[in-house]
Amino acid sequence: MAFFGITEEIIEKVWEHPNADRLDLAKVYGMDFQFVVGKDSYKEGDKVLYFPIDSILPPDVIEKLGLTGRLAGKDHNRVKTVKLRGEVSQGIVCRPETVLGNDREKWPYLNAEHLTDFLGVTKYDPPPEYTPTGILRPLPEGVGVYDIEEADRYTDVAASMLDEPVQITEKLEGTNTAIVREPDGTILYCQRENRIEELEDGKPNLYAETARAQGVPKLMEELAEQFPGQHITLRGEVIGYKVQGNIYQINGNEIRFFDLQINHRYVDAEQFASLIPENHRVPVLAEGVTLREWLDGKTIQQASNGKSVLNPKTRREGIVVKPMRGRSEEFEGYIHRCIIKQRSPEYLAKGK
């Protein structure tokens, strides 16, 4: 699961906002995010607290930041990517004493999780546009919530892949699903955080109905023939009717898969492509080239901008990058699967 939390960072660079005399732009070490800040508010080396995108802030923190009525959402409490005088701003930074007071010894952040809880900050989880009818149960054993770290925040993860063959796929805007076939043949349908127990007299279940119409149960049985007695999990994104405004303008619904786990281990990109039909997979933008070659001098943020393969009339949400041969590395003291996503700043700032 991707990390979420308020962290202490150090300002790396401050430069003039090109379109506003009273504003500057800034970034912190280890992240590619840029922030719009007040003129002369920060200088290189200043310590700041970083509130990431999709933070939900409590009223007292909003007041201390001077942002009452200026944030996103119906309650004006959500940190969102915005454009301020033509420049993208991703997240919020402030001096620690702004929200924690001046007595540093009493500051509670032994770690980011502690600080986040102390300030009462939570992560925004967008409500689904279509809620399937059924009883929500815990995810099956061994199946966790799927999320990927942001390249903006974890620049070292992207840097570790610069000179090895990678696969770059389009990140789709939909609703996350996992379809699980247990060793006894039972097939389970899951949304991002729950398994859905279907009701016999209930309305159609978006995830199960879409999978069945697409022939996924048959695909799962074919996989079971190749991996008998093993636990199989297909992970994908449901797109289409009543999902995120159907930005790809497709008829009905479909699932585009991006990962496959056999006995809870992810298969490599090449094996995944050999097992899952192309029309069932997320669009591939490039594979077998190094990330450096694909970027061709662009930043990963710049390269994430572009049009969707599924609908060239709409911006793509972003990209996902992973090595052709799957591996794990230690980042910030934890062992992580080496995979990264970059959401398009243009998509986030301008919408669909």
Could you tell me the CA-to-CA distances from 207 to 31, 174, 275 in Å, in that order?
A: 35, 12, 21
Q: How confident is the model at residue 131 (pLDDT cuts 50, 70, 90)?
A: very low
What mean pLDDT value characterizes the chain?
89
Domain ranges of the chain: 7-123, 135-350
195 contacts 138 by C-beta, under 8 angstroms: yes
Q: How many helices (H) and strands (E) does the chain have?
A: 10, 22
Alpha-carbon Rg for the chain in angstroms: 22
6 SS3 class? coil
347 contacts 317 by C-beta, under 8 angstroms: yes
Query: Which tokens belong to 298?
Result: 């662009």
1.10.3470, 2.40.50, 1.10.260, 2.60.40: CATH of 7-123? 2.40.50
pLDDT of residue 129: 39
The answer, yes or no, to whether residue 184 has pLDDT greater than 50, is: yes
Secondary structure (H, E, C), 8-67? EEEEEEEEECCCCCCEEEEEECCCCCCEEEECCCCCCCCEEEEECCCEECCHHHHHHHCC
Instruction: Kindly state the DSSP code that residue 78 receives in the 8-state scheme.
Output: B
Global pTM exceeds 0.75: no
The answer, yes or no, to whether residue 198 has pLDDT greater than 60, is: yes
For the domain bounded by 135-350, which CATH number is listed?
3.30.470.30
| Torsion, CA 90, CA 94, CA 100, CA 101, rounded to 10 | -170
Same fold, 7-123 and 135-350: no
The answer, yes or no, to whether residue 140 has pLDDT greater than 60, is: yes
264 SS3 class? coil
Residue of 68, 50, 70, 71 lying closest to 59 (CA atoms): 68
